[in-house]
Chain A
Amino acid sequence: MNGRVAIVCEAPVERFGWEARVWNGLLARGVDAHLVVARANLARWQPPRDFAGDRFHVCPTHGRDAVRALGPRAALHNTTAGRLKLALARLRPRLAHFAGPDLAMEASLPAGCSLVVSLGPQHVCVTGIGEEDYFGPLWEKAAAVHLPDRAVEARALRRGMPEEMERAVIAPGVLMDDVPRVPQNGHLRALSIDDLNWTQGLEHSIQAISLVPGCDYRIAGEGAHLSALAFARHQLGVTDRVQLDSSGNPSSLLAAADVLVSAQVIDGLNPSVPLALAAGVPVVMTQPGEAESLPDDAAVVVPRRDPQALAAALRELSADPGRRQAMSEAGRRVAAERFDADREVEELIALYERFI
């Protein structure tokens, strides 16, 4: 593929996040791909060491950092959009792929640059909800939209995305470190890996755990909903069984889990589900939306907002190690078929080639 691509996202960006994975995948295929990280407060977030190089760019929030990164003109542009405009003007990409809609809607692109925007479950279900035609300007401005699954696509259409909009549904690829499994200690070890916000339905899953004696539960993540979860585990009497951790390496977390729980209350596949399938960890998840599904042998799907159903599924899996083993094998198969990292990058390149 000829032509420069800029992957644009907001800080903080993690080593094993989507942006880094795609950027590295594009570079490995010889694409002139640049990662541009906007809204970077360098006092709070330092890019991972392997992000260094002339294809990695930050748009810092603080004046002195911005001047150092973007030159003296950055002093005249003290907004996120202004600094991003400077960075993109210097790069002059043929295509800018924004990881989310908010930054994309306010960004101004250099002439001749096409815009591709990724929309995830949180964007199409929550962002701008209650505002009529919130994404209207985005549908006008974007050349194409990238969606992770059919449920998110269906919801985007309900949020006003034109039927004729150029788009690609590309399942997220999974790259896992090879971490040896931690043996079970007798209790069922449930795990959720999530941003701690209400869309993940984690209060429901804590309620479910309170109904399953002998099940330990680890929630790994960070976010504004931590207080609500800490109080929920106290109120439901499971403080000793529910562990609230900051996020870590998903491979290590999954290596010490017997089942992954996703109690998400919005449409779309939770990003932790493909990771768990690839790691061979059985999945109990809420219905991801009418347009999306996983094979029955790979995941137990329960209704949303139903802690009793979630608890029943956990009880069944707890009592049936044979089924967990079968689900583990089926999960690995599904991950290889649907969530392959190479295929994800190739499909993205095919999407970009429509505009470059």
Chain B
Amino acid sequence: MASAVPLIAGAHLLEVGVRWPPETFIQRKLRGLAAAGMRVSVGSTMRPEPGAAPVEGVRLVHMPDWRERMSRQLAGVCVQALRPGRSSLRTLTAANGPYAPPFANTFKTKLTLVRALGSLTHTRPDVVHFEWESAAVQFLPAGELLGCPVVMSCRGGDIDIYPHLQSEVRWMRGLPRAFDTAAAVHCVSESTKRAAVAQGLDPAKAWVITPAVDPSFFTPRAEPRVRGDEMRLVMLGWLRWRKGFEYGIEAFGRLVASGVPARLDIVGEDPGPDHAEPSERERILCAAEELGLRERVHILGPLPSAGVRDLLQRADALLHPSLAEGIPNIVLESMACALPVVTTDAGGVREAVTDGVEGFVVEPRDVAGLARGLAELWHDPELAARMGTAGRARVERSFTLAEQERRWAELYEHVLSEAAA
């Protein structure tokens, strides 16, 4: 963060509704902002694992959630009311005010909201940032309560999927209100921006800041890529249906059936309680079994960044069969490792990958197209190498951390100066 700007230096950024520890890409951003002089806190309903290392430069504020017992919630609200600076009355008013989230419609959910917001009032931030659309809707009154500008992120996926789900009607009802209260809305891609505008976002508030990778960490392997005995493929993502794993397995099956010896490593974690959906693990295993691929498909579970990098460096291609996305970090990380990418055209993927240049881009659910792209890379190693090199060059040109950090500083500077004015 080279150009620390006066207003953000010393300003207090509070990120709300983030996992703990935060996802790698959020940690990177927060560390960068802390290094630029911002004070950074994270309000999370999760508690640190015993013995887990702290996140450098970032303070954790624990927010109680709905799993807390009712008696404890009530006691907590009473304690909050007695403490100066944690006014339960103010949080109660906010929880019932015009920006009460659509979820807070029962006594229990209101109480949870009051407790969660109450835990934040003493933090006195200069700017609040919701890294996920869902958090922005869930904690809608936070900006009003804390008396500071609000920034929210639209990361793709949810904003593409939820408008079509009956089960998310309340979430969708809250989204325009979240856009309304936000001083700025960060969108991870132009595609995500379009989806947000379709849901009521004022385009003037939108800031497109794409994900980025550290090209000095995600590097091509030292020795030149040599075709081995089998094609080594990687799929990575939460084990959720929106990642399209089954289509990936089907494409992999066609590749193997066409005579290409191949191995597929799947990196990813089962969805947590906050995702409220079943894991795709059984579906993946079953598809692999049905297609006779059990010996070739390996679910490795979650891996740290270094593990992901090592795997990408050893692989021959990334297979990314996702159905809904912003711009996926794994695609950029693979490109930084000079790995060709075979991906679906989900969300903003085309903003990072041009079909035929850094890899192949096919329609979502196009199993034959994915298999064709993989086979072409196997049969034409020179093409694969060219695509890898092009991917690395594109990341260095358009998706560097330095540029992303500059844009974040610009966004917060803008929001703080508007608030000051």
- Provided the pairs A198-B241, A224-B278, A265-B290 are in contact, do residues A231 and B324 lie with their beta carbons within 8 angstroms? yes
B325 at the interface (CB under 8 A from A): no
Beta-carbon contacts of B160-199 to A below 8 Å, as 1s and 0s? 1100111100000000000000000000000000000000
Is B215 located at the chain interface by the 8 A CB criterion?
A: no
Contact assessment for B164 and A125 in the assembled complex, using a CB-CB cutoff below 8 Å: no
B289 touches A129 (CB 8 A): yes
Q: How far is the CB of A302 from chain B (nearest CB, A)?
A: 15
B287 at the interface (CB under 8 A from A): yes
Q: Are B277 and A227 in contact (CB under 8 A)?
A: yes
A87 CB–B CB distance under 8 Å: no
Say yes or no: B278 contacts A203, CB within 8 Å: no
Q: Mark B346-367, 1 if CB is under 8 A from A, else 0.
A: 0000000000000000001101
Instruction: Let me know if B164 and A230 touch, CB within 8 A.
Output: yes
A130 and B299 CA atoms in complex are apart in Å by: 10
Q: Which residues of B contact A226 (CB under 8 A)?
A: 165, 167
Per-residue interface assignment for chain A, residues 331 to 348, with 1 indicating a CB less than 8 Å from any chain B CB and 0 otherwise: 000000000000000000
Asked if B286 is an interface residue, CB under 8 A from chain A, the answer is yes
Give the distance in Å from the alpha carbon of A235 to the alpha carbon of B167 in the complex: 17
Q: With A227-B161, A230-B164 known to touch, is A235 a contact of B283 (CB < 8 Å)? A: no
Determine if B290 and A227 form an interchain contact, defined as CB atoms under 8 angstroms apart. no
Do residues A125 and B286 form an inter-chain contact, with CB atoms below 8 A? Answer: yes
Mask, A196-232, CB within 8 Å of B = 1, is 0011000100010000000000000000111110111
Please state if B165 and A129 are interface contacts (CB–CB under 8 Å). Answer: no
A130-B285 contact given A228-B241, A239-B164, CB 8 Å threshold:
yes
Q: Is B250 an interface residue (CB 8 A)?
A: yes
Instruction: Identify which of A198, A228, A305 contacts B250 (C-beta below 8 A).
Output: A305
Question: Would you give the 0/1 interface string for B121-162, flagging 1 where the beta carbon is closer than 8 Å to chain A?
Answer: 000000000000000000000000000000000000000110
Cβ–Cβ < 8 Å partners of B167 in chain A: 226-227
Interface contact B282-A266, CB-CB below 8 Å: no
Interface residues of A in 231-245 (CB under 8 A from B): 231-236, 239
Given contacts A198-B241, A224-B277, A265-B287, contact A231 B282 (CB under 8 A): no
* Contact status A225-B286, CB under 8 Å: no
Contact B241 A266 (CB under 8 A): no
Docked pose: A224 CA to B280 CA in angstroms: 11
A304 within 8 Å of B by Cβ?
Answer: yes
Decide: B323 and A231 in contact? CB cutoff 8 A.
yes
In the assembled complex, which residues on chain B have CB atoms less than 8 Å from the CB atom of A233? Answer: 164
Please measure, in the bound complex, the distance between the C-alpha atom of A87 and the C-alpha atom of B165, giving whole angstroms.
Answer: 41
CB-CB under 8 A for A198 and B283, given A227-B167, A230-B164, A235-B364:
yes
**Which of the residues B246, B364, B367 comes within 8 Å of A198, measured between beta carbons?**
B246
Residues 258-290 of chain A, each 1 if its beta carbon lies under 8 Å from chain B, else 0: 000000011000000000000000000000000
B165 touches A230 (CB 8 A): yes
Closest B residue, CB atoms, query A207: B365
A111, CB-defined interface residue at 8 Å: no
Question: Are B286 and A234 in contact (CB-based, < 8 A)?
Answer: no
Given A198-B246, A235-B364, A239-B164, A227:B241 Cβ within 8 A = yes
- CB-nearest residue of chain B to A234: B164
The residues of B that contact A239 with a CB separation of less than 8 Å are 164
A305: chain B residues within 8 A (beta carbon): 250, 367
- Does more than half of chain B's interface fall in helix, strand or loop, or is it mixed? helix
Asked if A126 is an interface residue, CB under 8 A from chain B, the answer is yes
B365 touches A231 (CB 8 A): no
Beta-carbon nearest neighbor of A307 in chain B: B365
Which A residues are CB-close (under 8 A) to B278? Answer: 224
Is A304 a contact partner of B323 (Cβ separation < 8 A)?
no
Q: Please report the total number of B residues contacting A with Cβ < 8 Å.
A: 26
Complex Cα distance, B301 from A130, in Å, reads 14
Residues of chain A within 8 A of B160, CB atoms compared: 231
Are A129 and B164 in contact, CB atoms less than 8 angstroms apart? no
B277 surroundings in chain A (CB, below 8 A) = 224, 227
Question: How far, in Å, is B322 (CB) from chain A's closest CB?
Answer: 12
Query: A227's contact among B165, B280, B282, by CB below 8 Å, is which?
Result: B165
Which chain B residues numbered 363 to 377 have a C-beta less than 8 Å away from chain A? Answer: 364-365, 367
Cα separation A18 to B239 with both chains bound (whole Å): 33
Check if B285 sits within 8 Å of A129, measured CB to CB: yes
Partner of B290, one of A130, A234, A304: A304
Q: A226-B167, A231-B324, A239-B164 are in contact. Are A266 and B286 (CB under 8 A)?
A: yes
List, in ascending order, chain B residues with CB within 8 A of A225's CB. 241
Q: What's the least CB distance linking A38 to chain B, in Å?
A: 21
A231 to chain B: which residues have CB within 8 Å?
160-161, 164-165, 242, 323-324
Q: How far is the CB of A305 from chain B (nearest CB, A)?
A: 6
Contacts of A203 in B (CB 8 A): 365
Question: Which residues of B311-335 are within 8 A (CB) of A?
Answer: 323-324
In chain B, positions 209-260 with a C-beta closer than 8 Å to chain A are 241-242, 246, 250
**Would you give the shortest CB distance from A291 to chain B, in whole angstroms?**
15
Which residues of A lie under 8 Å from residue B289 when comparing CB positions?
125, 129
Q: How far is the CA of A292 from the CA of B365 in the complex (A)?
A: 29
Expressed in whole angstroms, the Cα–Cα distance for A130 and B367 within the complex equals 25
Cα-based distance from A236 to B365 in the complex (angstroms): 9
Cβ-closest chain B residue relative to A226 = B167
CB distance from A181 to the nearest CB of B (A): 30
Report the bound CA distance from A129 to B167 in whole Å. Answer: 30
CB distance from A194 to the nearest CB of B (A): 15
Which residues of chain A have C-beta atoms less than 8 A from B166's C-beta?
230
Task: Tell me the minimal C-beta distance from B337 to chain A in angstroms.
Answer: 29
**Complex alpha-carbon distance, A266 and B288, angstroms:** 11
User: How far apart are the CA atoms of A126 and B364 in the complex, in Å?
Assistant: 26
CB-nearest residue of chain A relative to B368?
A308
Complex CA–CA separation, A267 to B282 (angstroms) = 15
Interface residues in A49-100 by Cβ distance below 8 A to B read none
Query: Can you report 24 A-B residue pairs in the complex whose CB atoms are below 8 A from each other?
Result: A125-B289, A125-B290, A126-B286, A129-B282, A129-B285, A129-B286, A130-B281, A130-B285, A224-B277, A224-B278, A226-B165, A226-B167, A227-B277, A230-B164, A230-B166, A231-B161, A231-B165, A234-B164, A235-B364, A236-B365, A239-B164, A265-B286, A265-B287, A265-B290
Closest 5 CB pairs of A and B: A234-B164, A228-B241, A198-B283, A129-B285, A130-B285
Q: Which residues of B contact A (CB under 8 A)?
A: 160-161, 164-167, 241-242, 246, 250, 277-278, 280-283, 285-287, 289-290, 323-324, 364-365, 367
Given contacts A224-B277, A266-B290, 12 further A-B contacts (CB under 8 A): A125-B286, A126-B282, A129-B282, A129-B289, A130-B281, A198-B241, A224-B278, A231-B160, A231-B324, A232-B323, A265-B286, A266-B286
